[in-house]
A and B are shown apart, each in its own frame.
Chain A
Amino acid sequence: MWYYHYILKHPKTTVAAILVVTLFFAWQAKDVEVNNSLYELLPENHPSVIQDEEIKHEFNSREMILIGVINNQGVFNSATLQKVKDISDKIWEVTTADASDSSRLDSWSSELDPDYREKIDEILQNGLDRQDRGPVNNLLIEAKDDPSIPGDFIGFLGLLRLKLSPISDVISLSEIENITSTDWGLDVTPPMETVPGSQEGINKLAATVFANEMFVNGIVSEDSTGTLILAELAFYYDDHLDIAYDVFEKLENLARPFRGPERVLLAGVPMVNVYTINYMSGDMAKLTPLVILLVMLIMYLSFRMFKATFIPIAIVLLALTWTLGVMALVGRPITLIVAFMPVMIIAIGIADGIHLITEYKLSWNELKKRDGAILKTFRQLSWPVVITSLTTMAGFASLATSSLRSIRDFGIYTSIGVFAAMVISLTFVPAVLRLLSPPREVASRRRHDHRWVSAGLPALSRLAVGKRRWIYVGILLLAAVSIIGIAKIRVGSTMVGMFHEDSEIFQASKMLNEKFGGTEVMNIVIDTKQENGLKEPTVLQAVASLQDTLESLPLVGYTTSFADYIKRTNFVMNDNNPSFNRIPDSIEYMNTSADAAQNYEGSDITTSKPIIGRNQIAQYTLLYENAGGDDLEKLVDFDYSKLNVITMIRDDFTPRIKEILQSSQSFLASRLAQGAAVIYAGCATLCVVGDDLIIPSQLKSLGIALIVVLLLLILIFRSFKMGLIALMPIVVTVLVVFTIIGLFGFYLDAVMALIASIVLGIGIDYSVHFISRYQSLRKEGADANDAIRQTMATSGRAIVFNSAAVAVGFVVLLFSSFIPVQNMGWMVSANMLLSALLTLVLVPAVLSSAYKLTTRKELEQ
């Protein structure tokens, strides 16, 4: 108690100290990053993630933004084509450098040698613009070689260079490489370098485009009502999120004036992430105040006192700031899963405040002395606050064992939040209560409020004790149903499907998936493990038929690989003869007119000169490289041992992606030579990886949570039996959670997987409160039924209000922009109430049964 005496002696110092700590964390928190890319979910060291990273670098595959230009009247008209050309040209000009970069560069200039200063001044003349990317690049190269230049400046210049030219490639009708053969010769140029001026020219362009099967579904839709422009980032999206974000904004602005009658739609995985971040920020800005308001309202209704509502709110806001500060210090971003942690911390942290204020008012009424009332309050409640915080923390911290990073983050940071709320409750609250004037005399009125609660609870306890057989039967039935429900649980997740159907990104993704090959990318990398292994015709033939197999699946809209380029070159080199639109055979016999004549005279076809397919492929490759083609760096590695089949998929729902993955696996298992390896990479593959981790992670963290919480309960109650009883309501609630997921046909995803742990972490408090009160009443000499009745009247009441506050807090999630978050909102709300109800029904029933058993045993003895 010396501790509370100290606080009461120095309330101002305590408050000031807490505020300083809060300011420190708030200062940190401003740097928290928001990102929801898949890489933030998956474990960094998962083999698939490591492979994906290697493949990304090996094939220079950076994120692409898909810009669809849709015209229902057809895109082959001069106005639409001009827009395609203009957008393509303008994308190259995108830069994201701004005035803050100029002033940073300027401030560096004063710290550097005159030589650098002069160059910086030259760059800054006329402000920073795209023209400066060359000079900035050169300055960077110079600075890198100069040991006297600080690393920070080099880092800044590197970023500035990216900002000045953040787009590394544009693919569109006016940019894509088209290998063609004409009477004149061979050519590798874009089909539309300039927009044709005449109808004839436009018709010819359409014919050219549709004559190259690599374009159909790739950059033009089959019905010619859409054409695609792809913009490739010059960097890996996750490395420079802020620049990427600016690029997307610029692209969105760039597209706007070109709309009408054409639709210009932006989609693709990075865009989905941008929208996710936008909506997340919107959600946080909208839901956090809303939950605060609602919770304040609930408290006002229960306390009828403004001051009483202010203290619990202060607790949760401070705790939230601390948590965000810790996140920023650790350097972890806010992901979708972490984004509703504020709601969580508010909903949970509020409980401590409610209990403290209730107790303080009671003590004040009793003692009429401020310091005495404060001391009495904390003497009574310190221990319950600590233990409920610990059990809740254990529930959430068990998520730290999950292999999915954002689930882990969510668990860790929520338990940090709960811990912060506990610390603040036990330091800040007594100090503030000491500083504030004592409560007015309103408490006496309280008993007349909420009559239904006061009347309902005794009835409930009579029911629980009297009809406990029925309760057990009900629980058993529930368990039976839950077996069916749990058996029906399916794992699956989607990114685009999280948004409402009328949202911009859902619509854009849907449209582009309908018109083109798909917005999701799967990379199927085939490694022959041999230098030049790809030049073997059998390998490329297998790849070509893999692509045919994949494209026969309804959700695979487009595939491209090195095999397509060889097919195309073979076709073009053989004078556009359709029978050569294929991979060369291992050995072929020449059938050109000159040789045919020779063969005619020379009788035997085998005397004609054989063509070695391998050589032919090698020579086609050289031809393609020599003609200025540089698409291959995304499709083959440097020594032609690995190739990348880029597979576009029209849906990002993981069970469907898994089917595609499996059909590729079973095809390649039979067709691939021994020793060759296949690696699956790309966003689509990683989504599936996440799915496979969900169930084991979920089981592991729930199992650990139950064990840890049980141990804590046994310690707290110093009784194994009480520990088990306390765990019962929450075990049943968790079963119900999974039953709902299974029976309602929800897919278990990273968000759904959290519900059980949230329910466990919060709900366990109810039985802790109930059983502690029951135990202390029994110790004071009450018999079981009396103790139950009294516990119902005191703790039961608190449990009702507490669960109502939490449920209302989570109901706010119904206003989220994300469908899974909405589902989670009502599921947690409903199950919080259920868990409270079970605590008030099941626990008394079991307690009285247990009492009966022990008394019977005693009688028998």
Chain B
Amino acid sequence: MRVLRCIPTVLALFLLSGSLPSQDLSGRDIMELYKIQDRTGDLSADQTMTLMNSKGGKRTRELSYVMKTDEDDNRKLLIRFLSPADIKGTGFLSIEYADRDDDRWLYLPSLRKSRRIAGSDKTDQFVGSEFAYEDLESEKLNQHAYTLEGSDTVNGTPAWLITAVIDIDGGPDESGYSKRELWISKDHNLLVQAKYYDKSGAYVKKLQSKDIRQVPGSEKWRAYEMSMEDIRTGDKTVIEVSEYRIDQNIPDEYFSERYLKRGR
């Protein structure tokens, strides 16, 4: 319902954005534009995830990523590892709830068993990568305060620079960040760069999105390469996407423990 209420404003903004000078947009306005670009009913992607450490070590995994967003903007996520061979078939299911801890399940094909795993910690690293679970969640506009800091250029792309801080009345702050700096491209309203600050205020991670293209058969634009770098250790995770598929009407049953156990 919250989303529906937003629509008139968003529409108005959308119509006006062509004629209005950008400085009249607020941080929140720009984030609304970002949400329009970002939001899909479902999205699946074939990914190659490369974990790199500062000493030159490299580990590569291929995975299929399937995600669906409900009308309250909560995400369901199913990830299946395709390679290396020793973890092929390992699956991971996560269901986000607005009012309680996420549910997470893991399926191990060697045991043919799935196990629910504790998922209270959004700050945990996702499968050992530099991405935290919260980095994969949808942007919750109503839980943050956004400030437009100005304009900047990222890799030649003009972008707005927005700072986001948690702003929830009384609710628990589960984020590991005190602040995020978000660079939203002016051409497609996509997140092209982000800097993450931990609770002490220290700059800890940097996200960069590259190779931005329109997804074939969709009006959405997406980054085909994303990298997250840990500033202190120099460790880095790069996700390269070979293909995005958007709004394929993936049924809700796909995101169930039963489906997870099918191992494919």
Residues of A within 8 A of B (CB): 130-131, 133-135, 137-138, 141, 165, 181, 184-189, 532, 535, 573-574, 590, 592, 609, 611-612, 614-620, 622-623, 625-628, 630, 637-639
Contact = CB atoms under 8 A, between A and B. Distances in A.
B117 interface: yes
B262 interface: no
Contact of B117 (A187, A532, A611, A612): A187
Interface stretch (B52-60, B143-151, B236-244): B52-60
Contact of A141 (B106, B118, B203): B203
Contacts of B201: 131, 133-135, 137-138
6 contacts: A133-B202, A134-B197, A187-B117, A619-B87, A619-B111, A628-B125
Contacts of B87: 615, 618-619, 622
Given A535-B86, A626-B92, A639-B59, A185 B109 contact: no
Contacts of B199: 134
Nearest to B123: A628
A343 to B, nearest CB: 46
Interface in B98-136: 105-106, 108-113, 115-118, 121, 124-128
Interface string B162-178: 00000000000000001
Nearest to A184: B116
Contacts of A630: 125
Contacts of B59: 638-639
A619 B203 contact: no
The 5 closest A-B pairs by CB, nearest first: A134-B201, A185-B116, A625-B128, A638-B57, A618-B86
Given A186-B115, A638-B53, A638-B57, A627 B202 contact: no
A625 B125 CA distance: 8
Contacts of A133: 200-202
Nearest to B198: A134
B199 to A, nearest CB: 8
Contacts of A618: 84, 86-87
B111 A626 contact: no
A637 B84 CA distance: 18
B127 A186 contact: no
Contacts of A616: 108, 110-111
Q: Say whether chain B's binding surface is mostly helix, strand, loop, or mixed.
A: mixed
A615 B86 contact: yes
A35 B85 CA distance: 51
A613 B132 CA distance: 29
Contacts of B115: 181, 185-186, 573, 623
B111 A611 contact: yes
Given A573-B113, A620-B108, A638-B57, 9 more contacts: A134-B178, A181-B115, A184-B116, A187-B117, A611-B110, A614-B86, A623-B106, A625-B125, A626-B106
Contacts of A612: 86, 110
B118 A187 contact: yes
A187 B120 CA distance: 10
A617 B87 CA distance: 9
A137 B111 contact: no
A628 B197 contact: no
B90 interface: yes
A627 B109 contact: no
Interface residues of B, number: 39
B91 to A, nearest CB: 11
B108 A623 contact: yes
B109 A619 contact: yes
A619 B202 contact: no
A591 B117 CA distance: 23
A615 B84 CA distance: 10
Instruction: Pick from B58, B105, B125 the residue with the most CB of A within 10 Å.
Output: B125
Given A134-B200, A186-B115, A619 B125 contact: no
B123 to A, nearest CB: 8
A186 B116 contact: yes
Contacts of A188: 118
Contacts of A622: 81, 87, 90, 127-128
B231 interface: yes
Given A133-B202, A138-B201, A639-B59, A627 B86 contact: no
Contacts of B231: 141
B127 to A, nearest CB: 5
A532 B125 CA distance: 21
A490 to B, nearest CB: 42
Contacts of A181: 115
A626 B124 CA distance: 8
A628 B198 contact: no
A217 to B, nearest CB: 27
Given A619-B108, A638-B55, A639-B59, A627 B128 contact: no
Nearest to A638: B57
Contacts of A135: 201-202
Contacts of B58: 639
A625 B127 contact: yes
Contacts of A627: 117-118, 124
Nearest to A623: B106
A599 to B, nearest CB: 14
Contacts of B90: 619, 622
Contacts of B178: 134
Contacts of A623: 106, 108, 115, 117
Contacts of B200: 130-131, 133-134, 137, 165
Contacts of B108: 573, 616, 619-620, 623
B100 to A, nearest CB: 14
Contact of A626 (B55, B85, B116, B128): B128
Contacts of B105: 185
A189 B118 contact: yes
Contacts of A625: 125, 127-128
B62 to A, nearest CB: 14
Contacts of B116: 184-186
Contacts of B126: 626
Nearest to B179: A134
B161 to A, nearest CB: 16
Nearest to B61: A622
Contacts of B85: 615
A573 B58 CA distance: 28
Contacts of A592: 112-113
A590 B109 CA distance: 12
A614 B128 CA distance: 19
A137 B110 contact: no
A533 to B, nearest CB: 12
Contact of A573 (B109, B111, B124, B202): B111
A187 B128 CA distance: 16
Nearest to A595: B112
Contact of B202 (A134, A590, A609, A637): A134
Contacts of A611: 110-111
A638 B234 CA distance: 14
A619 B125 CA distance: 16
B173 to A, nearest CB: 16
Interface string B202-232: 1100000000000000000000000000010
A651 B201 CA distance: 43
Nearest to B103: A185
B203 A185 contact: no
A639 B55 CA distance: 11
Instruction: Pick from A131, A616, A628 the residue with the most CB of B within 10 Å.
Output: A628
B198 to A, nearest CB: 7
Instruction: Pick from A131, A188, A619, A627 the residue with the most CB of B within 10 Å.
Output: A619
Nearest to B120: A189
Nearest to B55: A638
Nearest to B129: A625
Nearest to A630: B125
B124 A628 contact: yes
B118 A137 contact: no
Contacts of B121: 628
B84 to A, nearest CB: 8
Contacts of A639: 57-59
B201 to A, nearest CB: 3
